[in-house]
Amino acid sequence: MPDTDSWARTVGAIDILGGLGGEVNDWIGLLSMYGSPDTPFADCRERAINPQTQTDLGNTVPIGTRFYRCIPPEVVISGSGINASAVAVVEPSNGSILTIRVLDPGSGYTQPPSVYIIDNSNFGMGAEARATINQNGNIESIYIVNSGSGYCQTNPNVGIGSTTPAGTTVVSVGSTTVGISTVPVGIVTAIVISSPGFGYTSGDTATVGGCSYDFILTNNGSIIGVTSSTSCGERFNTTPEVVINTKTGVGGQLYPVLQYVPQYIVDNPAIRAGITSEQVVYIDLCPE
């Protein structure tokens, strides 16, 4: 193997008018082949050989096959605005998408952008999501239309601290140090009306788990809003369905907006005595 000197010296040997000499060309090929960290190709080579993200992997995995390991899905937001970003929250037991956490609402959106859940490793499939925007052109929420399955876990706690709030006294048991549980949960913060339907009447309701909502209706019984006298504090570890309770209405389609709630785990050896390792209490942060 030839002497692989520094990339700076290699660049210095370039003939500006005549291009690269034959010997230099040979060296460049060998530098890339043997993975020298001194070449500008090193990062590209590393991403090609050991991809860490869906972007690194690209469309290199043939249809009907899987990459040799699962890579967390990526959320791509495409529309008239810019800079929006989000991360999928994956339910670990079956790889379904619990919800999508908006990291940056972006700006300049004049209509709801398309939301794509990308898994080029071909492990996860079937997930669909949609976005809502506010009057300022920011993404307000992203909700799940189809949870899909098979996706591997992401890190939904980007930008979230791993310490519990001051004054917290609830604890878990075992050797786990202070941190965030790997079992994600979410709470319903809004209901999206995808299709208003018609024929609904006063007294018709929608339920999500144990949470109940009343309808705001037009004269022909179309759903244009929902109300609830209490906030829905129920925690869900799978994306719940909105059930419409009616005898007359048809065509309504509602989806829940699920906000990811990190569950903090604390281990307190001082009170561990007499409690089994299976008796774990999770701390959750839920805006009331």
- Using one digit for the tens of pLDDT, what is the confidence trace for 169-212? 333 444 444 455 667 899 999 999 999 999 999 999 999 999 99
End-to-end Cα distance, the chain: 67
Query: pLDDT > 90: what percent of the chain?
Result: 54
pTM: 0.72
| Range 275-283 average pLDDT | 42
Residue spans of beta strands (DSSP E) within 152-238: 179-180, 185-198, 205-208, 211-217, 223-227
* The pLDDT of residue 208: 95
DSSP class of residue 270 equals G
Domain borders along the chain are 7-50, 74-146, 161-181+262-288, 189-259
- Residue predicted with more confidence, 241 or 159: 241
Question: What per-residue confidence (pLDDT) applies to 90?
Answer: 95
Q: What is the Cα–Cα distance from 183 to 223, expressed in whole angstroms?
A: 34
C-alpha 84 chain-centroid distance: 13
Q: What is the C-alpha to C-alpha distance for residues 257 and 240, in angstroms, rounded to an integer?
A: 10
Average pLDDT, the chain: 79
**pLDDT of 251 above 90:** yes
Query: What is the pLDDT at residue 88?
Result: 96
What average pLDDT does this structure show over 240-269?
A: 86
More confident: 30 or 98:
98
CB contact at 8 A, 258 and 286? no
- In one letter, which amino acid is 267? D
CA gap 175, 162 in Å, rounded: 16
- Position 63 scores a pLDDT of 87
